[in-house]
Amino acid sequence: METFIRSLSFHSGIPEDQAKYVSCLLLAYPFALMFLLLPNRPVLKHIIGMLIGLWFGWFTMGWQLLHSFVSSTVAYLLLLLLPIGISHKVVFVWAMGYLSVSHIYRMYNDYMGWTLDFTGPQMLLTLKLTTFAFDYFDGQRPDDKLTPYQKVMNIKKLPSLLEFYAYIYFFAGFLAGPAFNLKEYLAFIDMSLFKEAPGAKMPSPFLAAITKFAATCLVLVGVVFNMKYNLYYCRTEEFFAQPFLYRVFHVWFAGGLHRFPYYFAWMLSEGSCILCGIGFNGYKNGSAQWERAANCKVINLELAQNFRDITDSWNIRTDKWLKHYIYERVPVAPVAITFLTSSVWHGFYPGYYFSFMTASFIINLARAIRRHIRPLFLDENENPKPTKKLYDIVCTIATVFTLNYCMTPFILLGFDYSLRTWMSLYFIGHIICALVYGLALSIPPPKRRPITGDNHTAKKHH
């Protein structure tokens, strides 16, 4: 195995720690095939899935694997011993606090470094522990107090320790996600996830898994380009000596390429989740769907027309966590608290906060555009005019450029690199967004027409 890691690292040019992660993501495929052959015995499935996940963790992290055991065990004990009305909040503080200390330690020990350690899986574990705590809290509340999502995901009783640790360490998704809810995992193990399927048996996942793996191989091309053309060039004096238009082009081009390593890891993990069956999410028009484990939608994101499309297509499971466990549960300033939570979950590098503060402004800009400018390209029945296609194209180009510009500090991390790069671009993204925002607000929004039957039908169809 070590020989394979060194060979993969040598031929691909990636560090050995990253090669270990990629190797485990690849090994998840034959293990997923093996998992399909297991008899329908939940205890056996829990043990096998957990042992494989523990081996992945030990192989990639060594003794750092203990962080996941300590943080998850304490969370379970808190739910077991504390009153139900506060235990979920205490678990949230504990999990986020543990992750925050981990981020700070990483910054102290390896400032702006890129060595893969336990903090990546710990971020995923934080999602698991907090959703588990809130789902258990929701399970003790009356149904009329729950949202439709909470009614589906709530759990009525604490799982056994075997079920809990098997959920935490299940090999498919342990290293790169996605972070499933406990109820989804248990339904997969006891086969109730497939109750809609003929004979309540899992439909064949092979075609969907092969298709996802093939798409992952295509994404690998972007990963290779990212090794040569990346935003770390913005940390060099050579970058600042380049002409202004070159600097703008590089931020746009390299910023887009930087997403491909994430696409690669997420899609590779998604493929193994599909292959073992946990990626199944029902039927649509008679065809089995395998999108439960989807954490990104590459084409939707790269052709997004606004930031809402981006959040719907990027790090999907984390976005669901922010929506259902933060935004919907915060009574005061939910947008600000959600952005703050997302920032803290990522860490404490100044670049994260530069990017998220700018993103919050851009989201408000997108809402203003949709309210004030978009109606200019619709007729009185809110159907698209011929010029709507041009509007869509402009929005797509502007959205992708703004995304890459906005997220540059997220990648550069440091205060000095982030600010100096934006200064070298003369804050062009901020200025254009501010001008468009002022223009949008200067255009009166259309008066809402009374909703008639025909108008309502047309609007719904559009």
For the record, the structure tokens of 429 come out as 């993204």
pLDDT reported for residue 3: 60
Report the distance separating Cα 41 and Cα 419, nearest Å: 56
Catalytic, out of 250, 346, 372, 404? 346
pLDDT reported for residue 116: 81
pTM of the model: 0.91
Dihedral, CA atoms, 141, 145, 150, 153, nearest 10 degrees?
30
Report the distance separating Cα 214 and Cα 235, nearest Å: 34
Active site residue 103: no
Q: Closest Cα partner for 417 from 239, 155, 199?
A: 239
pLDDT reported for residue 2: 59
pLDDT reported for residue 430: 95
Check if the beta carbon of residue 136 is closer than 8 Å to that of residue 226: no
In the chain, the N- to C-terminal Cα span, in Å, equals 54
> Around Cβ 308, how many Cβ atoms within 10 Å?
14
Rounded to an integer, the average pLDDT of 286-294 is 93
Catalytic, out of 181, 295, 315, 404? 315
Confidence of residue 13 (pLDDT cuts 50, 70, 90): low
pLDDT reported for residue 110: 86
pLDDT reported for residue 432: 94
Rounded to an integer, the average pLDDT of 111-132 is 91
pLDDT reported for residue 5: 61
Residue 454 in this model has a pLDDT that exceeds 70: no
Helices (H), 82-205: 84-109, 119-139, 148-153, 161-169, 182-189
Confidence of residue 265 (pLDDT cuts 50, 70, 90): very high
Rounded to an integer, the average pLDDT of 391-402 is 93
Rounded to an integer, the average pLDDT of 196-219 is 94
pLDDT reported for residue 455: 46
Residue 19 in this model has a pLDDT that exceeds 50: yes
- In this structure, the chain runs to a length of 462
Active site residue 258: no
pLDDT reported for residue 239: 95
Decide which of 12 and 430 is more confident: 430
3-state secondary structure of 410: helix
Rounded to an integer, the average pLDDT of 166-177 is 95
Residue 283 in this model has a pLDDT that exceeds 60: yes
Dihedral, CA atoms, 178, 180, 185, 187, nearest 10 degrees?
-120
Report the distance separating Cα 267 and Cα 260, nearest Å: 10
Residue 63 in this model has a pLDDT that exceeds 90: yes
Check if the beta carbon of residue 181 is closer than 8 Å to that of residue 135: yes
Report the distance separating Cα 65 and Cα 41, nearest Å: 27
Write the single-letter amino acid at 332. V
Rounded to an integer, the average pLDDT of 221-232 is 91
Q: How many Cα atoms are found within 13 Å in the side-chain-facing hemisphere of 142?
A: 2
The DSSP bridge partners found for residue 384 are: 378
